[in-house]
Amino acid sequence: MKQKLWSDREEALRNELKAMRKNAGLSQSELALKLEKPQSFVSKYESGERQLKILELEQVCFACGTSAHAFLKDFSEQYLEKNA
């Protein structure tokens, strides 16, 4: 049996980051431009090729119109509700 590279919670977090970007009406390229990063930066954290540092998460959330605190609070509540 193949071992999973990412936990279910990490995968759910990546999915929520992608949904946040889409809900903000941003493409990967548009978000990358706001972050002053290459498009591959967004692609890699959304696909799980890299993890975000906490300050990067804060920048991504801000660029999408929210705070890291609000994003993580909502994510934690939704994840716990779905997996209770």
Rounded Cα gap, residues 75 and 6, in angstroms: 17
Tell me which residue has tokens 């994510």: 75
CATH for 8-82 (1.10.10.10, 1.10.3720.10, 3.30.565.10, 1.10.260.40): 1.10.260.40
Closest CA to 43 of 10, 76, 14, 11: 14
Calculate mean pLDDT across residues 6-28: 94
Is 2 a residue whose pLDDT tops 60?
Answer: no
Q: What is the pTM of this model?
A: 0.87
Domain ranges of the chain: 8-82
| Predicted local distance difference test score (pLDDT) of residue 22 | 98
